[in-house]
Amino acid sequence: MTHVSTAKEEAASTGDLVALRSVDKHFGALHVLQDIDLTIARGEVVVVIGPSGSGKSTLCRTINRLETIDSGTITIDGKPLPEEGRQLARLRADVGMVFQSFNLFAHKTVLENVMLGQIKVRRTDKRQAEERARALLDRVGVGAQADKYPAQLSGGQQQRVAIARALAMEPKVMLFDEPTSALDPEMINEVLEVMQQLARDGMTMIVVTHEMGFARSAANRVVFMADGRIVEEAAPDQFFSNPRSDRAKDFLSKIL
């Protein structure tokens, strides 16, 4: 019997969890993503850096289909992103997202925030959802805040709740878009430590951040973007000590 390998099998065999091929996107006349090729292996931590406006957030948003693309393909665990409907909701649940602004539901308690998606999208029963929510809140160090409302928590605590909420969906990959940029300096480390632990636990992660200490210690690979393109990809040591492109050299000279 002949056997034609499917995209799914191919992705499984290469271990790529996220694959973008020739992805292009415009906002009107602005070519915001230009011919993006990017693969992320299972368990890999990729840090995306680059100047403001280079397309980092848009890249993240295309990966969980908050933005459509004009051409190219994006696959998650071998499956192309569906256009819409329940399939999209399920696939989106495979991609956890943490934003700069914490985006918690203000009128729900911390515990409810972490239970809601499990019940509505994953169809988890309530008792099990609560059990998982409490365990995750403990894991990110905010178990004692479970019955409070988001506004009663510090920014660092709220962002850790947002991480717990994303993890509650049992995502295959976590996207972080500048998760510490809105935090007071003394709260940045408590969030980065949770992310470090997640990386050590083997989570596949795409992290947009200006925290170069995190990039050096947690990233397997740094992706440098400028003007909608991936200009350079390298191991963190190599990238920081010996960037190849002038754009990267210029960027690093401004932030380091």
Residue 41: phi, psi to the nearest 5?
Answer: -80, 155
Kindly state the number of chain residues that form the binding site for ligand ADP, as judged by CB under 6 A. 11
With respect to ligand ADP, which residue has the nearer C-beta, 27 or 105?
27
- Compute the least distance from the CB of residue 223 to Mg ion, in Å: 14
- Compute the least distance from the CB of residue 135 to Mg ion, in Å: 31
Q: Is the dihedral of CA 195, 100, 171, 225 positive or negative?
A: negative
Q: What is the DSSP letter of 4?
A: P
With respect to ligand ADP, which residue has the nearer C-beta, 36 or 81?
36
Which of these, 2, 58, 30, 40, lies nearest to 171 by C-alpha position?
40
Q: Is 209 in the site for Mg ion (CB under 5 A)?
A: no
Q: Is 209 in the site for ligand ADP (CB under 6 A)?
A: no
> Residue 209 and residue 222: Cα distance in Å, rounded?
11
Burial code (b: 16+ CB inside 10 Å, e: under 16) for 155-173 equals bbbbbbbbbbbbbbbebbb
Q: Which stretch binds Mg ion (CB under 5 A): 52-60, 83-91, 150-158, 164-172?
A: 52-60
With respect to Mg ion, which residue has the nearer C-beta, 25 or 56?
56
With respect to ligand ADP, which residue has the nearer C-beta, 97 or 137?
97
The Cα-based distances of 132 to 34, 46, 125, 171 in angstroms read: 40, 27, 11, 14
Which residues in 14-33 contact ligand ADP (CB under 6 A)? 27, 30, 32
With respect to Mg ion, which residue has the nearer C-beta, 112 or 176?
176
Q: Is 57 in the site for Mg ion (CB under 5 A)?
A: yes
Q: Which SS3 state, helix, strand or coil, does residue 49 take?
A: strand
Q: Is 53 in the site for ligand ADP (CB under 6 A)?
A: yes
- Compute the least distance from the CB of residue 141 to ligand ADP, in Å: 28
Lay out the site mask for Mg ion across 2-41 (x = CB under 5 A, - = otherwise).
----------------------------------------
Q: Which stretch binds Mg ion (CB under 5 A): 10-18, 48-56, 166-174, 240-248?
A: 48-56
Cβ-based neighbours of 145, under 8 Å, separated by 6 or more: 110, 137, 152, 153, 157, 161
> Residue 78 and residue 86: Cα distance in Å, rounded?
18
3-state helix, strand, coil in the chain (%, to 5): 45, 25, 35
Which member of 38, 55, 156, 231 binds ligand ADP (CB under 6 A)?
55
With beta carbons less than 8 A apart as the criterion, state whether 104 and 113 touch.
Answer: yes
Residues at the site binding ligand ADP, with contacts judged by CB under 6 A: 27, 30, 32, 50, 52-58
